[in-house]
């Protein structure tokens, strides 16, 4: 089968009302500067969705609607025609959190793209909150077919062990979904860091006022894109051994003016690929939103070949 080369991005838009329309416009301008094939957005409210439709259609198909009960939800933008899509509510959600899962027809194959926003619970029992989010992420992994790109805000703050195999209830799992096999689930950020031998204990500098040329043959330096490294011993990936201190945080009080608690430093937004490892190549990976800061999260982008 001919390989697929895809540029994808995920970004939590932040549903706060502060300068919402202006922030949405700025965020979309930055998205368009990267010209990604697929964009996963979280915390999208109806006002922002109206702007998205006006600015991004017809270049992108726009998948998903906003739940009037919750007031915000996840959305997928794709240059590839969708074949089908649906939402799957996550286990034990009290916030209406779900997985938006879409099958797309690329020029070379069908792929599945999912976006999610895990439960925003942290206290009073931290371990219990993390266990809930881990169980939701396991569910997402279980119901997603092979050759899936899964993007979103995990809200995870603690390192977790590799949760394979995954003993899950069959409730809510679509028909014909194989949950018995255990193909790899790959944290794209870790895959890039390891393959490019990028490690550092000191925060990277943001020294560019424009995004890198993601279409060039030379991948951008990871540390010119990142903004907030892991604390040592924190922020491990739930589906990997963890990228360690060299990886970037996407929710960082030290560098993002929208994060009020300046002590917060967590890598919360991730891109995973459910695929056999030897069939994946990560051409580049990085964070965006370092200059304009239209959200309280930084966005994550990558180019994948599989």
Say if residues 90 and 97 touch (Cβ distance below 8 Å).
yes
Which pair of tokens denotes residue 8? 């994808």
Dist. CA 175–CA 169, nearest whole Å: 14
Give the per-residue pLDDT at 177.
Answer: 45
pLDDT tens, 97-120?
Answer: 999 999 999 999 999 999 999 999
What is the Cα Rg of the chain in Å?
A: 18
Using 50 as the pLDDT threshold, list the residues of the chain that sit under it. Answer: 159-182, 198-212, 214-227, 229-247
Dist. CA 293–CA 298, nearest whole Å: 7
Give the per-residue pLDDT at 124.
Answer: 75
Transcribe 155-186 into DSSP letters: ---S------S-----TTPPTT---SS---EE
Given CATH 2.60.40.420, say whether it is the number of domain 5-305: no
Helices 46-56, 20-34: inter-axial angle, 10-degree rounding: 40
Say if residues 236 and 159 touch (Cβ distance below 8 Å).
yes
Give the per-residue pLDDT at 240.
Answer: 28
**Helix or strand holding residue 252 (H, E):** strand 251-252
Contacts of 171 (CB under 8 A, 6+ apart): none
Q: Where are the domains of the chain?
A: 5-305
Which pair of tokens denotes residue 256? 């993002």
Give the per-residue pLDDT at 23.
Answer: 97
pLDDT tens, 219-261?
Answer: 344 334 444 544 333 333 333 223 333 446 788 787 888 988 8
Dist. CA 149–CA 300, nearest whole Å: 13
Give the per-residue pLDDT at 175.
Answer: 45
How far is C-alpha 203 from the chain's CA centre? 21
Give the per-residue pLDDT at 129.
Answer: 85
Contacts of 201 (CB under 8 A, 6+ apart): 229, 232, 245, 246
State the DSSP code for 255. T
Dist. CA 62–CA 73, nearest whole Å: 13
């Amino acid at each position: 089968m001919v390989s697929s080369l895809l540029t994808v991005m995920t970004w939590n838009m932040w549903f706060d009302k502060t300068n919402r329309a202006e922030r949405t416009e700025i965020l979309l301008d930055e998205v368009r500067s990267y010209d990604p094939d697929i964009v996963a957005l979280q915390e999208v409210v109806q006002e922002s969705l109206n702007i998205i439709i006006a600015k991004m259609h017809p270049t992108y198909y726009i998948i998903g609607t906003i739940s009037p009960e919750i007031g915000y939800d996840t959305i997928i933008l794709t240059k590839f025609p969708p074949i089908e899509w649906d939402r799957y509510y996550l286990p034990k959600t009290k916030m209406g959190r779900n997985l938006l899962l879409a099958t797309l027809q690329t020029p070379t194959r069908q792929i599945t793209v999912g976006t999610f926003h895990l439960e925003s619970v942290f206290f009073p029992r931290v371990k219990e909150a993390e266990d809930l989010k881990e169980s939701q992420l396991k569910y997402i992994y279980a119901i997603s077919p092979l050759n899936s790109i899964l993007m979103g805000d995990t809200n995870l703050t603690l390192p977790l062990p590799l949760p394979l195999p995954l003993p899950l209830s069959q409730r809510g799992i679509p028909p014909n979904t194989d949950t018995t096999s255990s193909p790899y689930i790959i944290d794209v950020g870790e895959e890039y860091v390891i393959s490019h031998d990028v490690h550092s204990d000191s925060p990277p500098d943001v020294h560019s006022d424009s995004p890198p040329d993601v279409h060039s043959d030379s991948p951008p330096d990871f540390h010119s894109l990142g903004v907030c490294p892991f604390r040592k011993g924190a922020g491990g990936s739930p589906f990997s051994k963890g990228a360690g201190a060299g990886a970037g945080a996407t929710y960082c009080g030290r560098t993002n003016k929208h994060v009020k608690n300046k002590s917060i430093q967590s890598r919360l937004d991730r891109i995973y690929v459910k695929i056999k490892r030897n069939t994946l190549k990560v051409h580049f990976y990085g964070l965006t939103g370092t200059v304009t800061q239209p959200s309280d999260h930084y966005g994550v982008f990558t180019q994948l070949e599989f």
